[in-house]
Structure 1
Amino acid sequence: MTQKKGFLLLLIAPVIFYLLSFSQNDDPLARIIAGFDKYLKERPQEKIYIHFDRSYYAAGDTIWFKTYLTAGAFHEPSPLSRTIYVELIDKNKQLVTHLKLFSLDGSSAGYMPISDSLESGNYIVRAYTNWMRNSSEDYFFHRKIKIWNSEIPVPKDIPENNLDLQFFPEGGDLVHGIFSKVAIKATGTDGLGKRISGKILEGDKVIGEFISNGLGMGAFYMKPQKEKEYKARIDDYDKEVTLPDIKESGLAMSVNNSSKSDSVLVKILTTDHEASQTIYILAQTRGIVCYSARAFLNTNITIAKIPKSAFQSGIAQITVMDSNGIPLAERLIFMDQGDRISLKITPDKPTYAPRELVTLNIQAHDMHEMPLVANLSLAVYDNQQILTEENRETISSYLLLSSDLKGYIESPGYYFNPINEDREEALDYLLLTQGWRRYTVEDALNNNLGGSPYKVEQGLTIKGKMVDVYKDKPISGGKISLLSFFPAPETKIVKSNSQGEFEINNIIYFEPTDVVLHGETKKGNTSVKIITENSHDYPGTPDQILPFTERQTDIERTFVVNSEERRAIEKAFDFDEKMISLEEVEVLGKKVDLQSSPSKIYGSGSVNIQVAGVTSLENQIHPLQLIQGRVPGVQVRGSGTQWSVLIRGISSINGGTNPLIMIDDFPADIASLHTIPVEDIESVSVWKGPDASIFGARGANGVIGFYTKRGKEQIDPPKESPIPSIDAGFQIEREFYSPKYDIQKPEHIKPDKRVTLFWAPYILTDSSGRASISFYNHDVETSITGILEGISGAGISGASSFEYKITKE
């Protein structure tokens, strides 16, 4: 839909809207419109939406996801940022995982291994770009992710009888003598809506009643009097709540946005009207001004009728202002023009056998049945283990609704699901009770774009300090050269400041070995040392993470039980394809071959992991990722050069928590591990519990030993190198493992009980709007659900789902 700006002349006696031409200097309306126009041009707002392969996980699983990055009022794929940050945050607001993704054409795919040491609980996945930080945490993407760990006790349940009740007069205020609509919102301690009912009291007199829907929202009407006191008494709760204060005089607003009408009806009611009093009405959607007008208040009611065709899809803000442009009343409405992608997914069969090939045919059309080229992602999972939420968030509900409202939105898909007959009414309640987070009329009037300390990032940043290699003194005016190899060889040169500091921006690299830093003084002396530092400063964590309850649904209970079975299967069948299984033999004795042991000095560890020759391990970025989620009882967290390890059940006599780190049997600093390329590591051993006693007091926190291919040749472990360390780059994309059963292989004896059967982050429809995708089923007789989401190049979004069955009959 193209951008529209409209002025409407409406005569409703005795009110006349005057359409006049004003100069920007003397008319606040013109200044506001100019302010919004400047905002759209100079501060296009980026949004991130993430499509996950499912809604909850078990410790030890991997989260697969696709990010969609948009910019501007029309949600087109962002041409601005190429760097997306994705983080996992726990209930204590601690950062568990931090990833950097490279976004090309507004999308990227990633994965997040979950440590088997994480506690059961609610976690937050947060995503943002550096540019988005100019508009505060409110604009970041947040999604609650539930993680179950059957080996760690679940926290106790929370009380169920705590209740918070809030009141929201339509337009903003209760005004003496004006009949007004008042919305209510009731939430429990868990942050979710509560169904309640109650009575409105004027002193001891009951003047009205209210009842909320299943999401805790509702509304009632009242005509407040300034000398009266009003309270709400809640049924089944020993609680009374005082209503908001009543203004002696002023203006109130009422809006009717019925789907049965092709116009939005705005009523402005006032107690102290004057024929010379001027008001302005403005409606805007994401900065696009849809309607504006000026009127004189010569009666106590003024009515405006705004054609719905003037609006973009999404949330619109209607504001009534005084002659100075100061807002007197505001109201949010939602406009649905139906301009979303229609996605049709057709399996080639309604029913399949276990391990049978499934082929899906996909068609994408717009609202006019014209084919669309769309960028899509597909998740297919076992719906007897993963609950499919009918009212789940989708890319459309997020871009058009949730991303423009403050606070947590419960069941956002409820307002888009046609099976919910009250969704129009419920959506109106939501917009009456949730705050607007975007650029406001006041900002536009005052030309307040805010500062932009955070710049658009087209890549990563490397910063640090250059010092004299002998005296460690800063080198001023030195030259730092960076050679990068992606997407083509390129050299960037910067100079150090008076403190020896430097910063190089917009570098695209994935492995630290993809870039080379070189430094020299003004006179060309290369006896310098470059010390790099973490270039990313982490934003503050969210204020609230919803409490976690012990209650499990039947499906969740099945999922947790089956996750234990899957873990046992992985352990039982975790062998190299080149290994040969032998019949049972009796070992009467053995001679230790020190030359072939992981450690030539300390022998075999509690757990030993062969790295060389295992592609999935050799592709990891940091050595500690080799044990992350793979060694029971070992918790690994961190990114870049900042990592920590905790071996559960072990305590240090020195009060620390990090285990002893060894490289080829020589002690090393955990911070130096990032200098070792993972592809140079032969194997990893972990000693814990009694097995660590061989190390004496040094092994009180456990021991992790990395054994390099060079170590096999008796080369000394690496010492401090003049070559500067480089922070971790963008995450290297990894393909979701989906077995192929067309040709029988020895490893197919392993039972297949995948939860996520298939994950395809990059599906692109052709010019006819078509695409096709195939994968194989697992072993289980069950029902399968698929979720398809995506967006077009013009910013039109859509989501759809499908089901089929797996049966042996």
Structure 2
Amino acid sequence: MPHLYTADLSAFHFLSRWVARAGAGLLAGGLLWSGSLSSAHAQSDSLRTLDRQLSRYSQQRLPEKLFLHVDRPFYVSGEIMWFKVYAVDGVQHKPLMVSKVAYVELLDREQKPVLQGKIKLLNAAGQGTFVLPKSLASGTYTVRAYTNWMKNFPPEYYFHSTITVVNTFGSVTKAAPTPTTAGTDAQFFPEGGHLVKGLTSTVAFQVTDQRGQGVAASGIIVDQRGRNVAQLSTLKFGLGSFAFTPTETGASYSAILQLPNNQTLTRKLPAVQEQGYVLHLASTANGLSVTVQTTVAGADDILLLGHARQQPFVATMGRFRDNKAVFTLDKKDLPEGIAHFTVFNAARKPLCERLYFTPPTQQLTLRASTDKKEYSVREKVSLQLSAAGPGARPLPANASVAVYRLDSLSAAAGTSINSYLWLASDLKGRIENPDYYFSANSAEVAQAADNLMLTQGWSRFRWADVVGSSRPAPAFYPETSGHWIQGKLTHRGTGQAAPGIPVYLASPSRQPRLYSSISQPDGRVQFDMRDFYGPKEIVVQTNTQVDSTYQVEVYSPFSTAYAPTQQAALQLPESLRPELAQRHLQAQVQTAYFKKFTNQYALSQTDSLPFYGKPSEQYMLDAYTRFKVMEEVMREYVPGVLVRIRKGQFHFQVIDHLNNQPMTDDPLVLLDGVPVFNINKVVALDPLKIQKLDVITSRYFHGRQIHQGLVSYTTYKGDLGSYKLDAHALLQEYEGLQRQREFYSPRYDTPQAQQSRLPDFRNLLYWNPQVTTTAAGPSALSFYTADQPGKYVVVVQGLSTTGLAGSYRTFLQVKSAL
């Protein structure tokens, strides 16, 4: 029996071919191999295959990334959060049009989803909204997004960002707390992974408060006798590094840190190994020096393997001389972004790993200019948006624009798409102010970036999966045609998987849509749900006339794996109470006067025909004399369907129009798209509730099933009328793809509109997730200011077809009416 995902293997093979080309583009200069060893050992030959194994692994595990442009950082309960989804490959960051669905969630402090949405991706982009319930508690929430394919990777590599929501019907302000060390922590990360007795290591450290924010600190390292053996100080965002040589195995080394307000924090360093390896990376003007030291006597040859985004770019052998091996690399051979350097021994075991960051030299240059810097209330704003690449050459780009009011509550800037794709998306954990590492080409920024790299752990994959003799198939495949509903069919009572059984899924509707699947050996079923939007009831069942001993379970498509987070309870200072009161008033006024405009949706482009297309015969029953019994309707008005009774059971036989002979078995019979297998129940339907009857007078192929014709009944409301579903059928509420909400912005282009007495207290003036720029010149946009004076920020995020990403912020001022 074919595999459940056979139909999608072509897309999977496309991924493999694509990543091979992407890797070639990333490493245009070719893989650097250094044959510094004169003798050819079998172990060395084995090591030399690691880069090829990584390349093969990458072809099977192409990383995929999502970026969300969220309209603003702060909301009050009841407002709408708008977002744009960008989908790119994880190698060159070009738009990737493989996955057709993105899963977006809003998580609370306990990692519980409070809102979830399935977003359709078209041409590697999508858009969606979350209406923040008025009952939503105040707090800091995590927005995360991923595709079905991304569920093969650790959840740390899903997209994550944070927003703040305040329920203004309650109180979240309080007096500033007295500073304490409660919740403050310090972590230490030896370069390469380990501290080894007698070997000097660079040790990075990170000091954070209970919110995960960096804390400035300085201090000393003391041994178990209290002797000062090293000094340390943070540089930026609570990050720093220091050199340290442990002299005793099993000794306990501790850091004594001086925090702001004269608070003291003491933490132990990692344990010291008697024997091991230490890696040190040093940067010079033109190159990198990677030094590996060891205390292992007679240590074997080692391999230094460098890769960026799972694409190898250097593999060089080294031999220890005086327990030291040195590798020298030219910076011009390094790929942009984060490079991973991993050292392997002759047994192909990874010994040390170190990350290094090279800021990208090129990005998408976005510019947004307004026709004025100051505006009055209800005045038109004209915006010119342009995108350019290297050499200031105009480029076509896909962009999104948000314009919102700045105040003390929304002063924090969100992550830019460029810093996310090149930095944050390839690191685990929260990165404080990723944009800083792209801000300047200075020694301080470079050192801060290196401190950040030193605090990161191993790769997003396990080397055991790369070098293993066999690799299991991915657990999750990309949804290449639309949303999948997946589940499992089992035997009722035993719970054992039921393979090879046809299973049908339908949602009662006047536009019939039927989906079918055949259960796999492990009982899995999958339904390809094209054009399935909004909340619906789904009916999942087998042919109970054949066997009614099965039960089916429908899985949630949302990931149940969560990245570790550190979210403290939201506490706003009392000084923000006036601004919160203003936000409360704004939200209530907007809800009272403009709610009807915010609940308008774009029409989904779905086929108006039923899934079986144009029927061979169609009967509008209102055009005939009405009978009260369905059997009479079928016998009198539907000559293409014969009604037969065998052993007390009704049966239908459809006349095959090709040879004018009745087919032998019952056809596929539908009521509002839901299969009805018991013809007795069909004959018992109330014909006065049926508006239309369609007939297919030939064999009908649906998936892998062949039916002896098709008979479809449609009720007036598409709600099954009074028909009672079979007791063995699964009836379940299910949310399909999110319908596209239309952003409402009032227009004040007439004197009557400008003089309207309806108050306009919008905080978000403009949101447009579908802006495109061309090589011909800037794109023109326009919107109107509201009744709220103040400073507004224009935020633009964009991505070119070539993978260049960029962001831009500019400001405008709205003055009060005279």
* TM-score of Structure 1 vs Structure 2, range by shorter chain: 0.7 to 0.9
Aligned-pair distance for 1:284? 0.6
Does 1:748 pair with 2:756? yes
Does 1:245 pair with 2:304? no
Does 1:92 pair with 2:92? no
Does 1:372 pair with 2:390? no
Instruction: Show the counterpart of 1:560.
Output: 580
Aligned-pair distance for 1:76? 2.1
CA 330–356 in structure 1, closer or farther in 2 if over 3 Å, else same: same
2:806 pairs with 792, 795, 798, which one? Answer: 798
CA 294–368 in structure 1, closer or farther in 2 if over 3 Å, else same: farther
For 1:511 and 1:206, the matched residues in 2 are separated by 64
CA 50–476 in structure 1, closer or farther in 2 if over 3 Å, else same: closer
Q: Is the 8 A contact 1:33 1:444 kept in 2?
A: no
For 1:197 and 1:357, the matched residues in 2 are separated by 52
1:168 pairs with 173, 185, 189, which one? Answer: 189
For 1:361 and 1:574, the matched residues in 2 are separated by 28
Tell me the SS of whatever aligns to 1:741.
coil
Alignment of 1:484-499 (within 5 A): 493-495=516-518
- After superposition, what is the alpha-carbon deviation per residue over 1:13-67, rounded to whole angstroms, capped at 9, x for unaligned? xxx93489899x9623332212221122111111111111101110111100011
Instruction: Show the counterpart of 1:17.
Output: 36
For 1:484 and 1:721, the matched residues in 2 are separated by 12
- After superposition, what is the alpha-carbon deviation per residue over 1:483-519, rounded to whole angstroms, capped at 9, x for unaligned? 8999x99875434689999542253321467999897
Residue identity in the other structure for 1:734: R
Instruction: Show the counterpart of 1:428.
Output: 450
Alignment of 1:385-784 (within 5 A): 387-389=410-412, 392-418=414-440, 422-446=444-468, 451-458=473-480, 459-462=482-485, 493-495=516-518, 503-511=526-534, 533=554, 535-536=556-557, 538-552=559-573, 557=577, 559-570=579-590, 573=593, 616=599, 727-745=734-752, 748-768=756-776, 770-784=778-792
Could you list the runs of 5+ residues in structure 2 that have no partner in the other structure?
1-24, 491-496, 605-673, 675-715
Alignment of 1:220-299 (within 5 A): 220-226=242-248, 229-235=252-258, 236-257=262-283, 261-271=285-295, 277-299=300-322
Q: Is the 8 A contact 1:461 1:535 kept in 2?
A: no
Q: Is the 8 A contact 2:399 2:799 kept in 1?
A: yes
Tell me the SS of whatever aligns to 1:565.
helix
Aligned-pair distance for 1:797? 1.3
For 1:500 and 1:233, the matched residues in 2 are separated by 58
- After superposition, what is the alpha-carbon deviation per residue over 1:363-415, rounded to whole angstroms, capped at 9, x for unaligned? 2122343322211111111113553436x421122111112112222222222
For 1:393 and 1:450, the matched residues in 2 are separated by 35
How many residues get paired?
Answer: 663
Does 1:219 pair with 2:237? no
1:44 pairs with 62, 71, 81, which one? Answer: 62
Aligned-pair distance for 1:196? 1.3
CA 449–22 in structure 1, closer or farther in 2 if over 3 Å, else same: farther
Could you list the runs of 5+ residues in structure 1 that have no partner in the other structure?
11-15, 468-473, 577-613, 622-674, 676-709
CA 352–5 in structure 1, closer or farther in 2 if over 3 Å, else same: same
Residue identity in the other structure for 1:776: Y
The more displaced of 558-567 and 151-160 is 151-160
Instruction: Show the counterpart of 1:690.
Output: none
Instruction: Show the counterpart of 2:357.
Output: 334
Q: Is the 8 A contact 2:537 2:733 kept in 1?
A: no
Aligned-pair distance for 1:744? 4.2
CA 302–563 in structure 1, closer or farther in 2 if over 3 Å, else same: same
2:211 pairs with 180, 186, 190, which one? Answer: 190
The more displaced of 96-105 and 544-553 is 544-553
Residue identity in the other structure for 2:794: G
Aligned-pair distance for 1:351? 2.3
CA 762–410 in structure 1, closer or farther in 2 if over 3 Å, else same: same
Tell me the SS of whatever aligns to 1:751.
coil
Tell me the SS of whatever aligns to 1:297.
coil
Does 1:307 pair with 2:330? yes
CA 2–499 in structure 1, closer or farther in 2 if over 3 Å, else same: closer
For 2:302 and 2:345, the matched residues in 1 are separated by 5
Tell me the SS of whatever aligns to 1:232.
strand
Aligned-pair distance for 1:773? 1.4
CA 270–734 in structure 1, closer or farther in 2 if over 3 Å, else same: same
For 1:494 and 1:730, the matched residues in 2 are separated by 20
For 2:396 and 2:574, the matched residues in 1 are separated by 39
CA 550–421 in structure 1, closer or farther in 2 if over 3 Å, else same: farther
Alignment of 1:47-62 (within 5 A): 47-62=65-80
Instruction: Show the counterpart of 2:662.
Output: none
Alignment of 1:61-100 (within 5 A): 61-100=79-118
CA 21–393 in structure 1, closer or farther in 2 if over 3 Å, else same: farther
Identity of aligned residues (%): 29
CA 388–17 in structure 1, closer or farther in 2 if over 3 Å, else same: farther
Residue identity in the other structure for 1:564: H
Instruction: Show the counterpart of 1:137.
Output: 155
Q: Is the 8 A contact 1:40 1:73 kept in 2?
A: no
Residue identity in the other structure for 1:329: C
Q: Is the 8 A contact 1:406 1:436 kept in 2?
A: no
For 1:481 and 1:108, the matched residues in 2 are separated by 29
Aligned-pair distance for 1:733? 0.7
- After superposition, what is the alpha-carbon deviation per residue over 1:558-609, rounded to whole angstroms, capped at 9, x for unaligned? 5422222113423654698xxxxxxxxxxxxxxxxxxxxxxxxxxxxxxxxx
Q: Is the 8 A contact 1:4 1:310 kept in 2?
A: no
Residue identity in the other structure for 1:787: V
CA 616–745 in structure 1, closer or farther in 2 if over 3 Å, else same: farther
Aligned-pair distance for 1:145? 1.6
Residue identity in the other structure for 2:785: N
For 2:392 and 2:208, the matched residues in 1 are separated by 42
For 2:802 and 2:375, the matched residues in 1 are separated by 37
For 1:497 and 1:251, the matched residues in 2 are separated by 48
Q: Is the 8 A contact 2:402 2:796 kept in 1?
A: yes
For 1:479 and 1:170, the matched residues in 2 are separated by 56
Residue identity in the other structure for 2:420: Y
1:124 pairs with 142, 147, 150, which one? Answer: 142
For 2:407 and 2:148, the matched residues in 1 are separated by 40
Instruction: Show the counterpart of 2:659.
Output: none
Instruction: Show the counterpart of 2:384.
Output: 361
Aligned-pair distance for 1:333? 0.6
Instruction: Tell me the TM-score normalized by structure 2.
Output: 0.72
CA 543–252 in structure 1, closer or farther in 2 if over 3 Å, else same: closer
Tell me the SS of whatever aligns to 2:735.
coil
Residue identity in the other structure for 1:190: R
- After superposition, what is the alpha-carbon deviation per residue over 1:206-234, rounded to whole angstroms, capped at 9, x for unaligned? 23221113411111112221255432222
